[in-house]
A and B are shown apart, each in its own frame.
Chain A
Amino acid sequence: MYEIVSKKMLTPTICEMDVKAERLARAAQPGQFLIVRADEKGERIPLTISDYDAQKGTVTIVTQKIGASSTDIISFEVGEAFADVVGPLGIPSDFIEMSPEELASQKYVFIAGGVGTAPVYPQVKWLKEHGVAVDVIIGARTKDLFIYTDKMEKVCDNLYLCTDDGSAGFQGVGTAMLEKLVAEGKQYTRVVAIGPMIMMKFATLTAKKLNIPITVSLNTLMVDGTGMCGACRVSVGGKTRFACVEGPEFDGYLVDFDEAMRRQRMYLDEEKAAMENHVCRIGRGK
Chain B
Amino acid sequence: MANKIDRTKAREQEPLVRATNFEEVCYGFSAEEAQLEASRCLHCKNPRCVGACPVNIQIPEFIAKVLEGDFKGAANVIAQDSSLPAVCGRVCPQENQCEGSCILGIKGEAVAIGQLERFVADHATPDVEKAPANGIKVAIVGSGPAGLACASDLAKLGYDVTIFEALHKLGGVLQYGIPEFRLPKDKVLAREINAVKALGVKFEQDVVIGRTVTIDQLFDKEGFKAVFVGTGAGLPRFMGIPGENLNGVFSANEFLTRNNLMKAFREDYLTPIRAGKKAIVVGGGNVAMDAARTALRLGAETHIVYRRTEKELPARREEVHHAIEEGIIFDMLTNPVEILGDEKGCVRAIKCVKMELGEPDESGRRSPQPIVGSEFEIPADTVIMALGTSPNPLIASTTKGLDVNRKGCIVATEEGATSRAGVFAGGDTVSGAATVILAMGAGRKAAKAIDEYIKAL
Contacts and interface: CB of A to CB of B under 8 A. Distances in A.
Interface of A: 23-24, 27, 37, 41-44, 68-69, 72, 83-89, 223-224, 226-231, 233-235, 240, 245, 259, 262-263, 265-267, 270-271, 274
B394 A263 contact: no
A23 B213 contact: yes
B234 interface: yes
A89 B261 CA distance: 19
Contacts of A43: 262, 270-271
Given A27-B213, A68-B270, A228 B392 contact: yes
Nearest to A69: B270
Given A89-B208, A228-B257, A233 B245 contact: yes
Contacts of A235: 245
B167 interface: yes
Contacts of A274: 270, 272
B262 A223 contact: yes
A82 to B, nearest CB: 10
Nearest to A261: B345
A234 B244 CA distance: 11
A85 B207 CA distance: 9
A229 B254 contact: yes
Interface of B: 166-168, 176, 205-208, 211-213, 234-236, 238, 244-245, 247-248, 250-251, 253-254, 257-258, 261-263, 268-272, 274, 344-345, 392-394
A69 B264 CA distance: 14
11 contacts: A23-B207, A27-B211, A27-B213, A223-B271, A224-B257, A224-B261, A228-B236, A229-B253, A235-B245, A262-B345, A267-B272
B235 A228 contact: yes
Contact of A23 (B166, B212, B344): B212
Contact of A229 (B206, B236, B394): B236
Contacts of A37: 168
B205 A271 contact: no
Contacts of A230: 236, 238, 250-251, 253-254
B234 A262 contact: no
B212 A24 contact: yes
B254 to A, nearest CB: 4
A37 B205 CA distance: 12
A37 B345 CA distance: 29
A24 B207 CA distance: 8
> What are the 10 tightest A-B residue pairs by CB atom distance, in nearest-first order?
A270-B272, A229-B254, A86-B206, A228-B234, A84-B168, A230-B251, A262-B345, A267-B272, A43-B271, A41-B269
A73 to B, nearest CB: 11
Contacts of A265: 247
A88 B206 contact: no
Given A41-B268, A263-B245, A274-B272, A89 B236 contact: no
Output the residue of B211, B235, B258, B262 with the most chain A CB within 10 A.
Answer: B211
A27 B258 CA distance: 28
A89 B211 CA distance: 6
A87 B213 CA distance: 10
A259 B235 contact: no
B141 to A, nearest CB: 12
B88 to A, nearest CB: 23
A54 B258 CA distance: 33
Given A44-B262, A228-B235, A267-B274, A88 B244 contact: no
B136 to A, nearest CB: 22
A166 to B, nearest CB: 35
Given A27-B212, A41-B269, A86-B166, 11 more contacts: A223-B257, A223-B271, A226-B166, A228-B253, A230-B236, A230-B250, A230-B251, A231-B250, A231-B254, A259-B345, A262-B345
Contacts of A228: 176, 234-236, 253, 257, 392
Nearest to B238: A240
Contact of A226 (B234, B268, B272): B234
A223 B166 CA distance: 12
Contacts of B245: 233-235, 240, 259, 263
Contacts of A233: 245
Given A88-B212, A240-B244, A270 B394 contact: no
Contacts of B166: 86, 224, 226
Nearest to A89: B211
A224 B167 CA distance: 7
Contacts of A231: 250, 254
Contacts of B248: 266
A222 to B, nearest CB: 10
A271 B274 CA distance: 12
A37 to B, nearest CB: 6
A181 B112 CA distance: 77
A235 B246 CA distance: 11
B208 A226 contact: yes
B220 to A, nearest CB: 14
Contacts of B392: 226-228, 245
Contacts of A68: 270
Contacts of A41: 263, 268-270
A83 B168 contact: yes
Contact of A262 (B168, B211, B247, B269): B247
Contact of B212 (A87, A227, A229): A87
B336 to A, nearest CB: 16
B34 to A, nearest CB: 35
Given A85-B206, A231-B254, A270 B234 contact: no
B201 to A, nearest CB: 19
A69 B250 CA distance: 22
Output the residue of A37, A72, A228 with the most chain B CB within 10 A.
Answer: A228
